[in-house]
Each structure stands twice: as structure tokens, then as C-alpha cells.
Amino acid sequence: MANSVYISMSAAIAADNRLDVVANNVANVNTAGFKQTRMSFQDFLVREGPDGITDKGFSAMALTQTDLTAGGLQPTGNPLDVALSGPGFFMVRGPDGDMLTRNGSFRISADGTLVNADGMTVLGGAAGGGPGGPIRVDPTKGPVSIGPNGAVEQQKRGGQAGTVIATLSIMDAETQSLTHKGGSNYSAPATALQPVAAPDLVSGFIEKSNVNPVRGMIELIAATRDFEQATRVMNRVQQIDKRTLDVL
Amino acid sequence: MIRAMSTAATGMDAQQKRIDVTANNLSNVNTAGFKKSRAEFQDLLYQSIRAPGTSSVQGVRVPTGLQVGQGVRTVATQKMFSQGDMAQTGNQLDIAVEGGGFFQVTMPDGTQSYTRAGNWTLDDTGRVVTSDGFPMEPAITVPPDAVNVTVGTDGTVSVQQAGQEDSSEIGQIQLASFINPAGLESIGRNFYRRTSASGNPQVGQPGLEGRGTLTQGFLEMSNVKVVEEMINLISTQRAYEVNSKVIQAADEMMRNTSQLG
């Protein structure tokens, strides 16, 4: 009897975890470059019957995975806003090492380094295809733009053709190897990183969050109902317990 | 459940900030030289319940971890310095900048500020001043008997005085450009102030080094696009609504829990 209470309790906890993940997804419905988290649940063996029939009951959230589906592109007209229309990530260097991000809202810091909204330096590509060093522009020269292949170009005096300063490092990694770091960044082991051969960038656009609010609402309703059901079972089990005690 | 509630609360807070920014953009839709802002968000820290790559059974690695996020935060409001629409006014002292430069203005306390608003006027001494009466830097004084003021695309200001056939040059407008204009601090009244993030101004003649050329008789209007802002408004309101639903759901679940037993 006690088992049924614990089984329904595990279902209630799983529903609670589900709500937490949905809450984070919908909170980031307007966060540029955000990728929604998907979750999967696992049931656990309770007992194995004599005729080989297994009884599974306990349920728990087993893993979360980043859904790397592309978000919609939003025009901003800002030359330093770039969105990746293909696979891959921009590389930024934070205090804890190099990180991957899909949020291409860049700017130039006072000393002429290309940085993201948090002030982390955006990395250029090294010769071997891996992430290289920071991208520096000359603060005394003209405006900076980013081309479709990731080339960072600075305009010269009087409308002459610009000079390509560096090329953005665009790396790809399997979704399993990504760890959320917050700040729209992910980290991945260096061995999991692979350079994207022909990156496809659009300048003047921002990649919107890929959270679908409709799906979020449905998940929300499902989590609430699952929880309700679990608590109902718990109540019922308790009633049965009580009745048994009355009989005794 | 408390986690879901506070996560949804950060979502509501972020959407509220976005509405604030949109409201300010919309209210300045007809302000000359106004540049719209954009609220930027990032997801908050993640709670790693199980890190990817850890072993579940000996020799078997969990392919992905279990991470639950904590919501969203507003990281910056970024000014968007795209060109505003040009409005023809025919006024001799309405000057628009086509490009990245800023006019320089000397504030009453002697500091420099920068503006894109080109609606200049003259004060009682003939100095070219903003509508607040702050003089342009370098100062340009129009003689009282001037009939015509001409501003060239390169910033040369010349006047034709009464009774004279030839016009004479009285000054040169200089523009300042910044390597990171988004880092300028807005101080209201269409003025910006330099910060360590914007870098030092590169002052010089219009038309050089991306500073942009001047057009007389035109005003640069605000770069706010009403349709865009309306769409932002709708999507923000809906996002706010969805986040409030999460709080409702968490509340309902807590009610269920409290009714147990």
C-alpha cells in the first residue's frame, strides 16, 4: 500500500520538475538566441513477477536536452547584430573559458574589441579552424560591418572598400555535449567542438528565442493536470488506508 | 513549485522592462533625432541536477545531463543608432546628419554632449544653439545682417550679408563619431554623453571616416517604427500573460498539495 503513495508522489515530483522547465522556457520567450529545454521522463522497475511480467511505477525526470531548432530571425538594422541561419555557434571568451552562444548581438568596447552584451570578447577563427583570439578594430577608423561568411570588415575613409580584420569563429557541437551556462551561453568540451566549414550569417538580424508559447501553455496544462491526478491518487490511497484501519 | 514561481516572476519582470522600453520608444516617435532602444535578455544560471557525461551505471555515461534553468534577466538596453527618416522642413538651420556622426554641444556646465537632433536656432547674440539654448561646438555666430545661411555637405557654414553679392564663410561644423555609439549615455533632451564604453570622440569634418554628411533644410526624425513597436507590444503582452499563467499553475499545484490528507 505504501508503495502506491510513493509512486504517485514520484509522479507529482516529476510534474513539478516539468513545471520548472516550462517556467524557464516561457520566461525566455523573448530572449535572443535562447534555445528551449526539452525533458524526458523515465520509469523505474518496481518488481519483477514470476512469469516475467515487470511492474514499473516510479517516474522521474531523467534528462534535459537543448532543442537546437532555429529561432525566427528578427530584423534590427544594426550592423553588429548577426544571426546564424545555419548550424553552429558564435564563440565568446568568458572568465571561465570559451563558450558557445547563438545570441549575435555584438558591440564594440571602448578599446575597440568586439564583445557581446556581457562584455565577453567575441572570438575570431584561428588558422586551424578552431577558435582564435579577440577581434580588435581601430577605434579611429570608420564603421564596422559583418559579412555573410563571418568576415568582420572596417570601412576606410571616403567610401573606399573596407579591410577584412578577422573572421568570426563559428563552431558546432552535438546537443548532448552542451551544458547551459546562463547568459545565453553554453559550454562544451574542446573535443566536441567542430568548425563549421561554410557558416551562413545574416547581418542586421537577431535570432529570436525558439520557444513556442503555445507548446509552453500545453505543457503547463499537462503538468498541472498530472500533478492533480497524482495528488488525487494519494488522497484515495489514504482513504483506503483509513477504511482498512476502521475494519480492523 | 516555488522555483517555477520565481522563474515565471523573472519572466514577468523582463517583459515589463520590455514594455517600458517600448513605451518610451513610442512616446518619442516624433522626437527629432531620437534613437530607439531595445531591451536585451539572457537566461539566468542553470541548476545542474546531473551533469552530462556522469556515469549512471559503471561504464555507461549519461548522454545529456539534467539542468533546470532559473529564468531570465535583462542585461542591457541598447540604443539603436540606425538612420531616422528625413523630413524636409526648408528651415535654414535644420541640419540632418546622414551617417554615423553627432553634433557637439557645450552644456551650461562646460562639458560636451552629443546629439543627433539637427533643429538648431539662433540666440540673441546670433550663436547657433539647440532648442534648449546650448551652443554648438565649435561655436558659430551668424552676423545680424545675414540674409541667407548656407550649410555645405562638408559642414562649411557661409552667409550672404545684406548688400553684398558674395557669400562669406563664417565657420565649420564638426561632427564627432564614436567607435561604440551604443555605449553612449542618454541624458535626456536628445543629448548623449561619452562614457568609457563609448570610447573617445573622433572629431572632424563631416563626410570623412564614416562621420556622415550634412543636409540643410532637413530634419532627422526618430528612428522608431510604429508598426515594429506595436508588434513588440503585442508579443510582450502575450509573453507576460503566459508567464502569469505559470504562476497560476504553480499556485494551483500548491493548493492541491495543501489539500492532501
Summarize pLDDT for B89-101 with one digit per residue, the tens: 988 899 999 988 9
User: Is the predicted pLDDT of residue B84 greater than 60, yes or no?
Assistant: yes
- Backbone φ, ψ for residue A230 (5° rounding): -60, -45
The answer to whether A141 contacts chain B (CB < 8 Å) is: yes
* Predicted-assembly ipTM surpassing the 0.95 threshold: no
- Do residues B155 and B174 touch, judged by C-beta distance below 8 A? yes
Cell of B248: 497560476
Mean pLDDT, each 10-residue run in order, chain A (248 residues):
78 89 92 89 72 73 83 86 90 88 87 86 80 82 81 70 83 85 86 86 90 89 91 90 89
Q: Is B46 helix (H, G, I), strand (E, B) or coil?
A: strand
pLDDT tens digits, one per residue of B178-237: 888 888 888 988 899 998 878 788 898 998 777 889 999 999 999 999 999 999 999 999
Cell of B250: 504553480
Query: Which of chain B's residues have a Cβ under 8 Å away from the Cβ of A221?
Result: 249
The answer to whether A139 contacts chain B (CB < 8 Å) is: yes
Bond before A134 cis per omega within 30 degrees = no
Give the Cα separation of B106 and A42 in Å (integer): 68
Query: Which of chain A's residues have a Cβ under 8 Å away from the Cβ of B224?
Result: none
Give the Cα separation of B51 and B109 in Å (integer): 57
Partnered with residue A110 across adjacent β-strands are none
Strand order in the sheet with B168-172: B146-151, B156-161, B168-172
Say what the pTM is. Answer: 0.79
Of the candidates B11, B50, B196, the beta carbon closest to that of A26 is on B11
Neighbours of B173 (CB within 10 A): 24
pLDDT tens digits, one per residue of B127-145: 999 988 999 988 999 888 8
**Closest-CA residue in chain A for B83?**
A77
Cα B146-B116-B14 angle, rounded to 5 deg: 160
Give the Cα separation of A182 and A27 in Å (integer): 13
Query: Which of chain A's residues have a Cβ under 8 Å away from the Cβ of B202?
Result: 139-140
- Backbone φ, ψ for residue A194 (5° rounding): -135, 135
